[in-house]
Amino acid sequence: MNDKSVRKKAKYVLCWLQQNIRAIDNPIIDAAIATGNKLKLPVVVYHALGQRYPHASDRLHKFIIEASHSLAPAVEKRGLRCINYIERPAKYEKGLVYRLAKDAAAIVTDDVPAYVARRQAETVASKTDVAMFAVDASCVVPMNEFPYKAEANAFFRRAHTPFREKYLNAKTEMSPEVSRYEDAFDFEPDDLAKLDIDQLIAECDIDHTVPPVEHFPVRARRLCGS
């Protein structure tokens, strides 16, 4: 995503998850592990949630935080360090991605063409001084495989079909060859297992008039592998 080099003297590879918040079957994490193994560095998986994304509300916040809550133990089970952070008025840290990037050999993040992930990734890529890579983990077939721009459903199916079996049968889950990163950071991550999620959401400066869908809790245990 930029013309920066991989940093030679680094502590870890930073895997910054934005929208693909799952620990297994996630090419972003696998790419970060492959990079870490090549560089003999551990991987730090980072997921944070701000308060200023479009339509930030109790409903979306709970959906995202419950996914992040399930992410952490499943990532740790893979032998990786996972850090979560939820922004709220009582706990506000500025520029965490940039601060984490200072000790990273490279940043690996989502390749998502829509919503806020692309804008955030491009902004960080233009400002950071380390190499940054984007990996498509949103579809069975990576969008860049398509030989032409698929702007309508018929075009998408036509482009998608020849590659579908190849990717459905692919087994790419990587295992780290370097021990888990154990050092402290210059901020305190959130341990979501110890926090009351509803109370946490109530503290956030978001739209509290749109409630969660209580009869469909996320608790995405199977997706996250926990």
The dihedral sign for the CA sequence 16, 18, 20, 23:
positive
* pLDDT digit string, tens, across residues 32-84: 999 999 999 999 999 999 999 999 999 999 999 999 999 999 999 999 999 99
Burial 124-149 (b: 16+ CB within 10 A, else e): bbeebebbbbbbbbbeebebeebeee
Query: What pLDDT is stored for residue 224 in this prediction?
Result: 43
Which residue in this structure is represented by tokens 């592990």? 33
Query: What pLDDT is stored for residue 218 in this prediction?
Result: 58
* pLDDT digit string, tens, across residues 84-141: 999 999 999 999 999 999 999 999 999 988 889 999 999 999 999 999 999 999 888 8
- pTM greater than 0.85 (yes/no): yes
pLDDT, averaged across the chain: 91
Domains of the chain, start order:
12-212 (3.40.50.620)
pLDDT band of residue 217 (cuts 50, 70, 90) is low
Which amino acid, 156?
A: F
Q: If we measure between CA atoms, which residue out of 203, 190, 185 comes closest to residue 61?
A: 203
Report how far residue 69's alpha carbon sits from residue 203's, in angstroms, rounded to the nearest whole number. 17
Give the burial class of 123: count Cβ atoms within 10 A of its Cβ; 0-12 exposed, 13-18 middle, 19 or more buried: exposed
Report how far residue 135's alpha carbon sits from residue 34's, in angstroms, rounded to the nearest whole number. 13
Report how far residue 25's alpha carbon sits from residue 223's, in angstroms, rounded to the nearest whole number. 8
Report how far residue 223's alpha carbon sits from residue 208's, in angstroms, rounded to the nearest whole number. 27
